[in-house]
Structure 1
Amino acid sequence: MARPTIYDVAAAAGVSKSLVSLVLRGSPRVSEESRRAVEEAVRRLDYRPSRAASSLAADRTDAVGLLIDDYANPWFIDLVRGLHEVLGPAGYRLSVVDVATVSPAEDPVEGLLSSRVDGIVVAMDVPGALRGPGAPPIVVAGTRAHIPDADSVANDDWAGARLAVEHLLALGHFRIAHLPAASGAGTARADSAAAVLAAAGIPRIAVTPSPTATEAEGYWAALHVLGAHPDVTAIFASNDAMAIGALGAAREFGYDVPGRLSVVGYDNSALARTHLVDLTTIDDRSAAVGRETGRLLASRMRGSDAAPVHRTLEPALIVRGTTAPPK
């Protein structure tokens, strides 16, 4: 059976299509008698307005795009949860685009722009196409190459890395390797770790930054470090995925964690919180970053023209079972 249309509702209520549209939009310019007739026809026909048509009529889509660069990174899970907590109740649908899964012939940014999303959350280095005129409101999530006229929300990556390295130093570790990542956040964490080690008079162990900061890259980087520097007693990884890879490398070497090797991650991801992994990590408050990002974007989509806002949330050290004093 065909779904009823707005024309069916108008015929059943004995009014015009335009008047039905006014009732559905909650217009006060409708008599109570006509309103009751339309509402009764809607109930009787079980009519559901076309969301797409309503959005076009209102010049909006109630859709928000989220640009990321790696679905496998567990950091995005809590970010998305935080975004949903704010944007969902406000009636927005979230469309996630992972640029790492898009073919070279496609332009993921152009895809979002052509679908006329009302706003975009950028959780990767900001694409140039979003910097020009005509782009929808955007908010940058995480430490990125910020653009001056866009809002941004991130945790303090410099402070978080300092907490991680100072924790290892306090435990008595003096041969500490950092597994860096080639990203905005990764660079900030690596620079902070290097500064803390230098201030403590500890030589830096050079490690090539990981291009995508995955578990596999953490595994191979840790294998290299442990093979080339057998005196290393602690590893601080740029994120939890790389830290879990480092735990796998420690197992390959037969190292007890945390007896022979301590490992610290970053993100406080769901996997790090499991009893099996029990990873010491830095809580970057990713769900809170998502919520704050959602609030800022919702404000911009409502037409706010306030000066750009750059918010930084304080991270916290979460000590679990992968760190201990060196033997």
Structure 2
Amino acid sequence: MGRPTMEDVARRAGVSRALVSLVMRNSPQVSPGRREAVLQAAAELGYAPHAMARSLASHTSTVLGVLVSDLHNAFFAEVVDGLDAAARAAGFELVFNTGCRDAAREQKAVASLLSFRPAGVALLGPVVPAATIATAAATCPVVLVARTVRSTAVDLVNDDGRTGSALAVDHLAALGHTAIAHFDGGAGSQAAPRRRGYQEAMSRHGLEALVVPSEYTDTAGARSTRELLAARPAPTAIVAANDYNAVGVIAALEEAGLRVPEDVSVVGYDNTGLAAMHHVGLTTVHQPAVDMGRLAAEALIARVRGGGSPVHRLLQPSLVVRSTTAPPRACGFTASTAR
């Protein structure tokens, strides 16, 4: 037996195909009794209407496209949790694509999503040029998560990276650290405000900043740590680009015979599930990822339904202290030797 059709559902429920179509579009014109009969028949037959087919037939899409910049980063998985829950509650479904943190691949991924003629698109941490985002926004409503652009046509949902990095520096300075390095997120989204927050906080504490080039991956964290240790004595603390970068930092420090936090304290960013694992116990800056996803979906759906002007939401981070930070020992370079 082939895949059940709308006609099969109509015959089983004893109604017209047109009425089944109204039920599948969640039309308020159908009585509760007939709606129940159609849904019961659909469940018995295992009928599931194709979202894209419904959209094309009705000229009203119930699909939201989602670009996930990095499938390996659990932060984005948590954003998707919030996005998906809010979208489904509003009757929308999600279609995903990724560009693996590569601008050219992300441009193709965005074009692919737009080819589905979605009601709107959510871009999570994209590294595509602003022009690509503007082109997408001219086609349908667009929301950015963990990325900022100067546009009045795009919804933005971010955490305050400047404040987040400052929280990390303030915590380490309160413990007595003066030699605090920052591993930069490179061209990754939100790297600039986190770097700026670190530099401003170091200046406020009268400390000399040391920004080490890196990326939002564990391999980059390990590589940058090895390069740093080859060039100078270890700092007493490192503010990593994110949690995954911090895991690489810790691995490379231990490889070099340095203990965390006895010799070097490490702070991550994002507060992913990885950071909370008992054997990791990473002190980190918490981004409310699930809330960010929910707010992104709500903003996008409001725009789809004619809800007016785009919104720019900036959520406040918080510090979660675990076991990778402690007062410094009398070792490592000092602020006066940093350059």
Specify the TM-score bucket, using the shorter chain as the normaliser: 0.7 to 0.9
Match of 1:120 in 2: 121
Distance 1:16 1:160, change over 3 A: closer
Contact 1:179 1:237 survives alignment (8 Å): yes
Distance 1:249 1:150, change over 3 A: same
Match of 1:197 in 2: 202
Contact 1:165 1:197 survives alignment (8 Å): yes
Contact 2:146 2:159 survives alignment (8 Å): yes
Match of 1:245 in 2: 248
Root-mean-square deviation over aligned CA pairs:
3.1
Q: Which amino acid aligns with 1:216?
A: T
Match of 1:316 in 2: 318
Partner residue of 2:224 out of 198, 221, 224: 221
Match of 1:152 in 2: 156
Q: Note the C-alpha offset of 1:77.
A: 1.7
Alignment of 1:27-42 (within 5 A): 39=38, 42=41
State TM-score, norm by structure 2: 0.84
Distance 1:43 1:58, change over 3 A: closer
Q: Note the C-alpha offset of 1:26.
A: 6.4
Instruction: Report how many residues are paired.
Output: 323
Match of 1:235 in 2: 238
Inter-partner Cα distance in structure 2 for 1:186 and 1:41: 51
Q: Note the C-alpha offset of 1:9.
A: 5.4
Q: Between Structure 1 and Structure 2, whose CA radius of gyration is higher?
A: 1
Match of 2:293 in 1: 290
Match of 1:79 in 2: 79
Inter-partner Cα distance in structure 2 for 1:316 and 1:14: 57
Match of 2:98 in 1: 98
1:276 aligns with 2:269: no
**What secondary structure sits across from 2:118 in the alignment?**
coil
1:136 aligns with 2:140: yes
Identity %: 37
Match of 1:170 in 2: 174
**What secondary structure sits across from 2:210 in the alignment?**
coil
Q: Note the C-alpha offset of 1:297.
A: 1.3
Distance 1:281 1:111, change over 3 A: same
Inter-partner Cα distance in structure 2 for 1:288 and 1:12: 42
Query: Residue deviations 1:254-305, cap 9 Å, x none?
Result: 111111110000000110010010000000111111111111112112221x
Contact 2:65 2:114 survives alignment (8 Å): no
Inter-partner Cα distance in structure 1 for 2:67 and 2:24: 33
| Residue ranges of structure 2 left out of the alignment (5+ in a row) | 330-339
Match of 2:332 in 1: none
**What secondary structure sits across from 2:258 in the alignment?**
coil
Inter-partner Cα distance in structure 1 for 2:30 and 2:259: 75
Distance 1:105 1:46, change over 3 A: closer
**What secondary structure sits across from 1:95 in the alignment?**
strand
Distance 1:248 1:30, change over 3 A: closer
Distance 1:263 1:303, change over 3 A: same
**What secondary structure sits across from 1:272 in the alignment?**
helix
Inter-partner Cα distance in structure 1 for 2:8 and 2:93: 28
Inter-partner Cα distance in structure 1 for 2:321 and 2:20: 60
Distance 1:174 1:118, change over 3 A: same
**What secondary structure sits across from 2:313 in the alignment?**
strand
Inter-partner Cα distance in structure 1 for 2:249 and 2:106: 35
Distance 1:58 1:199, change over 3 A: same
Contact 1:126 1:146 survives alignment (8 Å): no
